[in-house]
Amino acid sequence: MADPQIPRGETRLPIYPEPPAPAEFGIDLRLGWNRGDAAIAADVKAFWEQFNFLPRGVDPDHRVKEVVLAGYAGNRLVAVSTAAIEQVGFLRCKMAVYRCAIAPDFRGQMMSMLVTAHSLKALEAWSRAHPDEGVMGMLAVLENETYKKKTHPHRAPETKLSLVAFNPQGQKIVVAWFDHARV
């Protein structure tokens, strides 16, 4: 893997308005959103199984249809992002509800922020091209224990993600509104 620009343990990555190129982090991001790519689907399902990433009861054949990006280091899948289009009651609009999984040996290198930034761009471009879908932004629940600390800003200036609520488990719910969003 190439040495990333951001040192291990660094908490800031300037991703907005333009995220760094994935190659700077030694990965290739492949678009899976609405593509039905059988090779990506097979790799993603094997990745989820290898690391036991899917919660009990989640159908991998259904979830794999939600793949936004697949991140490869050479031929090895090391990152996957997914999104489900859902009506979000408290925001009164449809959002792309986002998830990201990173291989354990690629964590701590800002990989999730990189994949998230590029996923946001891909989802926003899709939303702009499909206005009839009415998707206004991307929502994520920050499940990583790191984000439970109160040391993270409510809106990091280098991203579009803003804190909007907490779920019953105390996890932060963040939203990035698409530039064309109207609510």
The one-letter amino acid code at 160 reads: K
What is the Cα–Cα distance from 17 to 158, expressed in whole angstroms?
8
- Beta strand residue intervals within 23-75, DSSP E: 28-31, 67-73
Average pLDDT over residues 166-170: 90
Q: Minimal CA–CA distance to 27: which of 81, 72, 68?
A: 72
**What are the pLDDT digits (tens) for 9-68?**
444 455 556 788 899 889 999 999 999 999 999 999 999 999 999 999 999 999 999 999
**Domain annotation for the chain: domains and CATH numbers:** 22-177 (3.40.630.30)
Average pLDDT over residues 155-180: 83
What is the Cα–Cα distance from 25 to 5, expressed in whole angstroms?
7
